[in-house]
Structure 1
Amino acid sequence: MHDGKAMAGNAENHGGLGRSRWRIAAWAFAALILLLPLLAMQVTDQVDWDVADFAIFGAMLVGAGGAYELAARMTGNGAYRAAVGVAIAAAFILVWMNLAVGIIGNEDNPINFMYGGVLAVGIIGAIIARCQPHGMARALFATAIAQALVAAIALIAGMQHASYSSVSEIVALNGFFVALFLGSAWLFRKAAREQTPAGAGLEG
């Protein structure tokens, strides 16, 4: 009896240690990402960041990392954690690319403000879903549709005829984000399927 409790305690401690190591590795990776622009500035003139750039980028990394930490503490489901990670990574890259160079044209192109609506769809959907996997899957699917709609509107508006954008660039960049959001939705659905049998077992 005592041996069983000891084994369970050891397994729990081992799991907690493993999660701590993953969190430390994630934050170390975030710090490395923050240092990359500084290193790039030493070897090329194409990267020229000031203090404000590093402050904004650092704040975004802390926000993204904090959001993932919060989600990771809510559940031990691997698919759910992966889904959150993919969604946060997609949102992070979308925001940073818009701030840095713009998704369509340059960062001053007004059509890029539409991507704020894409993120709003995901955030509002998550609030409505209360972060439950079934609802989150629908929210991320809706986010992917919103992303695709921005690309469609850009093409209808003739942005591909401008010197700074082409059909392939608009389709490829937006397709990349659509794929990430759909991937996150699929992982949330997987998490929901894994959760349902567990809930059914408890009810029995």
Structure 2
Amino acid sequence: MTLSQSILRVALGTGLLLLIPLAAKLFVPGMLWSPGDFLAAGIMLFGAGLTFVLISRMGDNTAYKLAAGVGVAAGLLLLWANLAVGLVGSEDNPANLLYLAVLAVALIGSFVARFRPRGMSNVMFAASLTYIVVTAIALFVWKPTGAAVEPNVHLLNVLVANGAFAAIWAVSGWLFRRASAPGSNLNQRLA
């Protein structure tokens, strides 16, 4: 499949996915998406799809493509959750901006690693570790003051949810590690 065909598929997939909240907005009274919400969702979905298409073309085995998909999904979920409800407290908590460091580690590290499987593995593990460190800083070091103080942040919920997100980055790292292994039975081309 050519690159332009892949981009067209991503655009069509994005449009189809956006039909779900559009239908909900038309038929569910509590669905309060604004045109800006649809635009943001479209940009994030199309951007994630395009990123996956471009990165997965750099690897020639199933493990690499799967690792790229998991890594891109981790980034998309991080952005979506942070914008929708926030990862620490509400979406208005300024500590949530710290999570941009995870994306920076993943993006900058990927370019430094030149998208090679072994380097990408290290980058995804670094993103997972950054996620954990950012969560600890947001919860225990950087205490918001004034209107940003949220007394109802349930520590266990935040730790479990953020632990799950960090684990997704680690799974991507493990899959990239598998993709770099010589003689791996995962070194098959996708049909």
TM-score scaled by length of structure 1? 0.77
Amino acid at match of 1:173: A
Match 1:174 to one of 147, 159, 162: 162
Q: CA RMSD in A?
A: 2.9
Partner of 2:128: 144
Superposition pairs of residues 13-32 of structure 1, within 5 angstroms: 29-32=13-16
Distance apart, 1:156 and its partner CA: 1.4
d(CA) in 1 for partners of 2:91, 2:98: 12
Contact 2:98–2:138 (8 Å) recurs in 1 = no
1:89-111, Cα deviation, whole Å (9 max, x unpaired):
11011111111221111111110
RCO (CA 8 Å, sep 6+): is it higher in 1 or 2?
A: 2
Partner of 1:8: none
Number of paired residues? 180
Contact 1:90–1:177 (8 Å) recurs in 2 = yes
1:8-33, Cα deviation, whole Å (9 max, x unpaired):
xxxxxxxx69xxx9998766554332
Contact 1:106–1:164 (8 Å) recurs in 2 = no
Amino acid at match of 1:51: P
Partner of 2:68: 84
Partner of 1:154: 138
- More helix as a share of residues: 1
Match 1:42 to one of 26, 29, 37: 26
Partner of 1:13: none
1:130-171, Cα deviation, whole Å (9 max, x unpaired):
000010000000100010112212331468x93342112211
Structure whose CA Rg is larger = 1
Amino acid at match of 2:164: F
Partner of 2:112: 128
Runs of 4+ residues deviating >2 angstroms = 21-33, 42-47, 72-76, 161-164, 194-197
d(CA) in 1 for partners of 2:171, 2:184: 20
Q: For structure 2, which runs of at least 5 residues remain unmatched after alignment?
A: 186-191
TM-score scaled by length of structure 2? 0.82
